[in-house]
Amino acid sequence: MTQPTSHAAPSLRAAGRIAIETAWQAAIRSGALPPVPPDAVVPTVEVEHPADPSHGDLASNLAMKLARPLRRPPLAIAEAIATELRTSAGDIFASVEVAAPGFLNLRLSDAALERALDVARTADAGFGRLTSDQPRKVDVEFVSANPTGPLTVGNARGAFVGDLLCRVLEAAGQDVTREYYFNDSGAQIEHLGASVAALKRGEPVPEDGYHGAYVEQLASDVPADVWAAATSDGAEADKVLGAWASVRVRHMIEASLERLGVRFDVWKSEASLHDEGWVSRAVERLREGGHVYEADGATWFRSTTFGDDKDRVIHRSDGRPTYFAADIGYVTEKFSRGFDHLIYIWGVDHHGTIARNKNAAQAMGFDPDHYEVLLVGWVRFVMDGVEVSMSKRAGTFVTLDDLLDAVGVDAARWFFASRAAHVAFDFDIEQARAQSADNPVYYVQYAHARICSILRKAAEAGIVPASTFTGTLDGDTVAQGLAREVLRLPEVVEDAAAAQATHGVTAYATGLATVFHGYYRDRRVVDPADPATSAARLALVDAARLALRNTLGLLGISTPEQM
RNA sequence: GCCCUCGUAGCUCAGUGGAUAGAGCAGCCGCCUUCUAAGCGGCCGGUCGCAGGUUCGAUCCCUGCCGAGGGCGCCA
């Protein structure tokens, strides 16, 4: 996986990493530590937040990593770096400790936390967004359901996961294009046209046709001129009506996606890839490279050259191109638009097609590492512990719109965001629908609303947040805890973008809400008798609001000011 | 048969070479005269599928086995 080039806005973790790196180098210069021998691997400085708060705010295993190459006990190495940190790291750390078997445990000072809070508040909506000197230009193709019917719950996960990924990458400073690929010609579309034609004529829908209320709606909506064109002499009614209907259906799909808050930058038609010659040129490119041959009357791509199980057909023996042919052309078309990286979001059932596509990209001279497929696992929609039937005949819960009607956009986004994309999971409709504490999304939104309520209360009392955080924490461990959690946001975004996954973001949101609720319990914010303390606490609570707002915003989830 | 993914608390899922494995839900017990109880505190609950191996250290990496799902088309 290629790492984004983005660098974090000042995160506390990054500050700790730099401080340790600097101290380590200083210890080498002073002779306290030997340099890493040339034949050994120089370890990277890893900094994490220890699970146990008694281990401090930040911890590093650097000394243990260095023990072998330096041939010294890890505790001695840690002590050397700690000594350097204590003398030259300024006022960033309140304490620097060494713990067995060689951990370096750091505790941040109030001053460091307060400065970071000031920066966060100034950044405002930009807090938690990273910048990049050279943003990676990435194309994310997802959903890409053919316009023969409304989006189904089967399409839902791809739609949410794709958009969530895009949001995370954007927050990490990357240049993201959301792309939807659709088949606007061929058999499926003709079947749709035939179905519409049949209903329009009052005949039954053909065997391989499409059913459902939307088809009837389409039939009754056919404009007179389209119908005339379809039924004129020599016209192919199915094709004409199919073309018209697929555009209508596509707009329907677009409206559903709009409802989820997903908007695509590019809608790419398969036909255009053929019409503009992308497919034939790509096949020619493969042929020139010796990767194409004819057999059994068909044209094949020699995918086995790159380790595939078998070679793959590009043109069938009847001359028609396969879907794979269009994929090949599409890859060249995408790279011609200057993307550094292509991401495809597919269902696990497409896993078998990854190899041939990646191989074709490689055969055409593209770096296969820049062709990435993320698979999304199956979802079972569960109610009362049993799977909800999704059969069209049952009439319930077939479309994506049904799902949104049942649980709402916020809950749907949360549930899809909080699971790793590639694993199968059960979507509990009851829990997602619950307007109560059972529902984690409300739990987090409630924290936000609660803060807004405090802010309103404060305004009534004439209390304004402190203009600077300097001196506001004042050794208060409860306040420090909230500040640390707030300030983790940039790290959470960095990690999410690197992992190309969002479940760390929902976990962070839940944790932040929990820490805030604890603060609310332990510290009264608005106290007219003590305006100075109130102003300090109000500023901190407002910073928590900022972090919650930006986190939920990142997930596309609303932030109500009262509930 | 071959390939991919998964197997962690009763349920749904995180975690991932490090310091006592986490969250939500469910269950049980407490807390509203004071900024929103959609909240807070506590309890219960795990041989991290099984067996080997690598490592100072493995739930995480490697091998084998067992179980679940998916893929192996001139379908998409």
Select from 3.40.50.300, 1.10.760.10, 3.40.50.620, 3.90.1150.10 the CATH code of A137-183+264-376.
3.40.50.620
Cβ proximity of A50 and A105 under 8 Å: yes
Instruction: Give the residue-averaged pLDDT of A361-372.
Output: 93
Percent of chain A topping pLDDT 70: 96
Instruction: Give the residue-averaged pLDDT of A100-123.
Output: 94
CA of A101: nucleotide with nearest C1': B19
Instruction: Give the residue-averaged pLDDT of A89-109.
Output: 92
User: Nucleic chain B: which protein residues 451-470 of A have CB below 7 A from it?
Assistant: 452-454, 456-457
Q: Roughly what angle, to the nearest 10 degrees, separates helices A187-200 and A213-221?
A: 70
pLDDT confidence of residue A264: 97
CA of A422: nucleotide with nearest C1': B5
Q: Is the peptide bond before A101 cis (omega within 30 degrees of 0)?
A: yes
pLDDT confidence of residue A396: 53
Q: Has residue A382 got a pLDDT over 80? A: yes
What ipTM, to 2 d.p.? 0.94
DSSP labels for A74-105?
A: HHHHHHHHHHHHHHHSTTSEEEEEEETTTEEE
Amino acid at A239: K
State the average pLDDT for chain A: 91
Q: Has residue A180 got a pLDDT over 80? A: yes
Q: What pLDDT digit, counting tens, does each position of A303-342 carry? A: 999 988 899 999 999 999 999 999 999 999 999 999 999 9
State the pLDDT confidence band at A10, using cuts at 50, 70 and 90: low
A523 touches strand B (CB under 7 A): yes
Instruction: Give the residue-averaged pLDDT of A541-548.
Output: 97
Q: Has residue A3 got a pLDDT over 50? A: no
State the pLDDT confidence band at A486, using cuts at 50, 70 and 90: very high
Tell me, what DSSP letter sits at residue A106? E
pLDDT confidence of residue A4: 35
A330 touches strand B (CB under 7 A): no
A556 touches strand B (CB under 7 A): no
Higher per-residue pLDDT: A4 or A284: A284
Distance A492 CA to B17 C1' (A): 21
Distance A378 CA to B11 C1' (A): 18
A481 touches strand B (CB under 7 A): no
Higher per-residue pLDDT: A198 or A388: A198
User: Nucleic chain B: which protein residues 348-407 of A have CB below 7 A from it?
Assistant: 348-353, 377-378
Centre a 10 Å sphere on the Cβ of residue A372 and count the other Cβ atoms it contains.
18
CA of A377: nucleotide with nearest C1': B5
CATH number of this structure's domain A12-108: 3.30.1360.70
CA of A298: nucleotide with nearest C1': B74
Please list the residue range(s) of chain A that carry CATH number 3.30.1360.70.
12-108
State the pLDDT confidence band at A426, using cuts at 50, 70 and 90: confident
State the pLDDT confidence band at A40, using cuts at 50, 70 and 90: confident
Please list the residue range(s) of chain A that carry CATH number 3.40.50.620.
137-183+264-376
**Residue keyed to tokens 């089967």:** A154
CA of A50: nucleotide with nearest C1': B19
User: Nucleic chain B: which protein residues 204-263 of A have CB below 7 A from it?
Assistant: none
Query: Judging by beta carbons within 10 Å of its beta carbon (0-12, 13-18, 19+), is residue A88 exposed, middle or buried?
Result: exposed
CATH number of this structure's domain A437-554: 1.10.730.10
State the pLDDT confidence band at A397, using cuts at 50, 70 and 90: low
Please list the residue range(s) of chain A that carry CATH number 1.10.730.10.
437-554
Task: Return the closest-CA partner of residue A371 out of A402, A331, A325.
Answer: A331
Q: What pLDDT digit, counting tens, does each position of A210-231 carry? A: 888 899 999 999 999 999 999 9
Using a 7 Å cut-off to protein CB atoms, list the covered nucleotides of chain B.
2, 4-6, 11-15, 18-26, 34-41, 56, 69-76
Instruction: Give the residue-averaged pLDDT of A416-437.
Output: 85
Q: Has residue A7 got a pLDDT over 50? A: no
Task: Return the closest-CA partner of residue A426 out of A456, A459, A383, A375.
Answer: A383
pLDDT confidence of residue A8: 38
Q: What pLDDT digit, counting tens, does each position of A43-70 carry? A: 889 899 988 888 899 999 999 989 888 8
Task: Return the closest-CA partner of residue A376 out of A331, A425, A324, A341.
Answer: A425
